[in-house]
Amino acid sequence: MSRTPSVPEAARTAKGTAQKEERRRHPRNLAEGQILVHWQSKFGLLRESSALLKNVSAGGFAIELDEKFPVGGVVIVETSERSLQCMVRHVQQQPHSFLVGLEVLSASDDSTCARSLEALSSALCDSFPE
């Protein structure tokens, strides 16, 4: 004899198979390139590390590196053309690194966030041809 699942059981099953709802404000565009990241350690020391750019959007970008940053922390991202002040919005531990989501707060040349990211993306594409 087969039984019909109860409403809560059916809802749990449907919820478990449903895809996560997209919550991003801007679509992501895959990107590739090396950038330099500067930050101040919790001991007040200035640090820097190279990072791999993973994607770019109108509001920010994602990088992969060996360092873990606190969410809400501020870092400076440097390219050959400009510096961007960014806030750490997301950190996800990977098997051997950290994926860090950054929101651009300001650029060294006072350009808008969208123009800065567009320039960052094109500069990296020019620097690292396919």
pLDDT of 7-53, one tens digit each?
A: 444 444 444 444 545 565 666 677 788 889 999 888 889 999 999 99
Instruction: List the CATH number of the domain containing 122.
Output: 2.40.10.220
What's the domain range around 112? 28-127
**Can you read off the two tokens belonging to residue 47?**
């640090």
Q: What is the pLDDT of residues 64-82, one digit of tens each?
A: 999 888 899 999 998 777 7
Does the residue 15 lie in any domain?
no
* Average pLDDT, integer, range 104-110: 70
Does the residue 42 lie in any domain?
yes
Number of structural domains in the chain: 1
Does the residue 12 lie in any domain?
no
User: Which residue carries 């750490």 as its tokens?
Assistant: 88
Does the residue 99 lie in any domain?
yes
Does the residue 103 lie in any domain?
yes
Does the residue 11 lie in any domain?
no
| Distance, CA of 4 to chain centre | 44
